[in-house]
Amino acid sequence: MISPHNAEAELGGARAGSLALIYATSLATVLVFTYLPRHFEALGLSGAMIGTIFAARTIAQSFASPLWATLADRHDRLTATTRALLVSGVVAVAALPFVVAPLALFGVLLAYALTAGCALPLIDALTLRAAGAEGFSRLRAFGSAGFGLAALGAAALGLYYTHAEIAAMTPWALVLATILTALATLGLPRDERSLTRPRPDWSLFKELWRAPLVVIFAIAALHWASQMPYNLFLVFLCEERDFPAWTPGLAVGVGIAAEIVAFAMAPRLLKRIAPLPLFALSIALTALRWFLTAYVTSLPLILAAQLGHAFSYGAFYVAMMAILDRRVPPEVRATGQGALYLVVFGLGGALGAGLGGWLLDVAPASRTFAAAGWLEVVAFIGLLAAWRWLNRAANTFLRPS
């Protein structure tokens, strides 16, 4: 593996710049999905229907990602596959601003999930394979910056528009961001295939689904399920408490600023804290964050609580990348990323979206955050219960870099 001391130097300036732009524009779309559920409600969809649509989208994306990743691994065509998925995503999402029927909305999001939604794991794999876990965090921080700028933009819009009016703009924002991400891939090499790179055998792919990695994936899925109220229902919480329309964007912006710090500190974190303890710390602090968000009504305190995103996502993602970097053979790196997205972000995200949508129909939005806190408690207990077994099975997760 290439030394991770300087991702930009190893990748080359043009490729590093393209990856930075891809991360910035693609992760800026995450903010769109914070407002899109509110837009769907304005179109007449119930909370349960919104939750079902987003859960189905997440499941479809999570199952498709490993298939695309395995195809890219077997033929060593990460760049070409990524570019094709993003271009197809532009075609798929172009109809979103013009459809209103639930089935049509579901169809557009499903097509987007099966194309552009599957591109990020391949970009992660390309970066991780070239730069290692520590170098990866430097480039991945540009994604956090893109997300943060989008959040601050939404906060600025909140000075002049209502929650609902901002939500109505998000379909166009998704179209624009997908186009920009597809264009950014033009700066990557046309063909990164290597004649000296051995083709992986099937036994390497089987390694991805053996314990203890599967146990860690399952606990991480519960952790990610707890993120869904923040990702999908934050606008509803702000409306419930009569917070100004700039609140969701600023809250996300505060979280992203903390996330960027976590990614920037990744090399130091991994040298001082082993991946598994770092993972456990992220779960414990996230539980505290969700309980504060659910029960504290002071806007400054709620905004301050979002600094916990440094651990909820930043430290969590760094820990998972370090685990993959130690556990997954380089020849199947993209497939390892696909497996992560399948179990953690796919199944875990679908669980959180489905349960959150159902709960939104029968209780205030703040209850979804309280439920997320208890879900983190369950994840933490599960991790503690498996800790000794994980230590015996794979002590590489318990040593700093």
Contact indicator for 166, 158 with CB cutoff of 8 Å: yes
Q: Residues 228-244: pLDDT tens digits?
A: 999 899 999 999 999 99
Residue 39 DSSP SS3: helix
Q: CA–CA separation, 179 vs 90, rounded Å?
A: 6
Phi, psi of 191 (to 5 degrees): -150, 110
Preceding peptide of 198 cis, ω within 30°? no
Residues 6+ positions from 175 with CB-CB distance below 8 Å: 90, 93, 94, 96, 97
Lowest mean pLDDT among 40-54, 71-85, 153-167, 330-344: 330-344
State which amino acid sits at residue 37. P
Contact indicator for 331, 217 with CB cutoff of 8 Å: no
Q: Residues 363-401: pLDDT tens digits?
A: 999 999 999 999 999 999 999 998 888 766 655 555 665
Q: Would you say residue 266 has pLDDT above 90?
A: no
Residue 214 DSSP SS3: helix
Q: At which residue do the structure tokens 């696909």 appear?
A: 338
Residue 13 token pair = 């300036």
Q: Which CATH superfamily is domain 9-189+203-398 in?
A: MFS general substrate transporter like domains (1.20.1250.20)
List the one residue out of 137, 123, 131, 141 whose CA is nearest residue 187: 123
At 6, the pLDDT band (50, 70, 90 cuts) reads very low
Contact indicator for 62, 350 with CB cutoff of 8 Å: yes
**DSSP one-letter code for 96:** G
**Does 337 or 296 have the greater pLDDT score?**
296
List the one residue out of 329, 315, 378, 323 whose CA is nearest residue 351: 378
Helices marked H in 226-364: 228-232, 234-240, 247-264, 266-272, 275-295, 299-305, 309, 316-327, 333-340, 349-362
CA 227 to chain centre: 10
Q: What's the mean pLDDT in 283-311?
A: 95
Q: How many residues in total does the chain contain?
A: 401
Phi, psi of 137 (to 5 degrees): -60, -30
**Does 194 or 84 have the greater pLDDT score?**
84
Q: CA–CA separation, 370 vs 353, rounded Å?
A: 14
In this structure, how many other beta carbons lie within 10 angstroms of the beta carbon of residue 159? 10
Q: What's the mean pLDDT in 250-267?
A: 86
Residues 6+ positions from 270 with CB-CB distance below 8 Å: 133, 134, 278, 318, 322, 400, 401
